[in-house]
Amino acid sequence: MLEICSIASGSNGNCYYIGNETDAIVIDCGIFYTSLLTRAEKAGIDVKKIRAVLVSHEHSDHVRGVKTIANKLNLPIYFTPKTYAKTYKKHKPEYFKALSTQEPVEIFGFMVYTFPKYHDAVDAVSFRIEYQGVNIGVMTDIGVADVTLCKEFSKCQAVFLESNYDEEMLQNGPYPKILKDRVASNVGHLSNSQAFALVRDFAAEDLRYIIFSHISQENNTSEKVLEKFSVFKDKYSLVIAPRFDPSEKLIIN
């Protein structure tokens, strides 16, 4: 049995939970520790089960709470060496364990497969977590769905998938042009249409759950995401990762 839940998702903070009956790992911790505790309790998650935190890249909405959670729960934090070096000192734990895109790492029975992604960070990575034959993808903060991402996505039975912006809302929205160009670039974020194409063209036959993550507050809405993916509503469980609350906790048997 696996439990998966978005504890936080969006530019104000990201944190994704994957656990079994006794152990769990967290991908990113971009919220403060007190918020983590509050949201975990609301979701019915026991933080004492967390055995490690994996860091995808150094942006503050992914690492803001990493140092504190490491200290409070005495956890190892996994970074790529370049990401650790680039992380601001106030967010950086004293020690880290190294992630590599060449070799998977095992953490309490969870096999962590790390692979590079296109994003404007020094060494940004995505993850596929395998546990007893079930594969969970954590695929956010991605400018373009490259060959590697498509290959890894096609192995997943559940995925935290970025659907960051609606193209029309972005272009007509309040962002300055330089920021609009950054979001829509190959090192920015996935749009609703890009995420849809990834699911349409590369979903595994046994994909069951999609948790739409990192949804922009200014350039998207949950309604637009669900409308875009409505053709899949009878095929997959479509779940929105809220910005200020945990998502629905999904149980995968």
Where do the structural domains in the chain lie, given as residue ranges?
2-242
CA pair distance 137, 147, nearest whole angstrom: 15
The pLDDT tens digits for 34-92 are: 999 999 999 999 999 999 999 999 999 999 999 999 999 999 999 999 999 999 999 99
The pLDDT tens digits for 83-117 are: 999 999 999 999 999 999 999 999 999 999 999 99
Return the CATH number of the domain spanning residue range 2-242: 3.60.15.10
The pLDDT tens digits for 185-214 are: 999 999 999 999 999 999 999 999 999 999
pLDDT classification of 253: cutoffs 50, 70, 90: confident
**Statement: the pTM of the whole predicted model exceeds 0.85:** yes
DSSP codes, 127-171 = EEEEETTEEEEEE-S-SS--HHHHHHHTT-SEEEEE--B-HHHHH
pLDDT, residue 238, reads 98
pLDDT classification of 218: cutoffs 50, 70, 90: very high
| The token pair that represents 147 in the structure block | 């060959």
Residues whose CB falls within 8 Å of the CB of residue 222, separated by 6 or more in sequence, listed in order: 212, 215, 240
Interhelix angle 66-73/33-43, nearest 10 degrees: 70
The pLDDT mean for the chain works out to 97
Tracing tokens 């995808």 back to the chain, one arrives at: 56
| The token pair that represents 52 in the structure block | 């490690």
Side chain identity at 206, as an amino acid letter?
A: D
Side chain identity at 3, as an amino acid letter?
A: E
SS3 of the chain: helix, strand, coil, percent, to 5: 30, 25, 45
User: Among residues of the chain, what percentage have pLDDT more than 90?
Assistant: 100
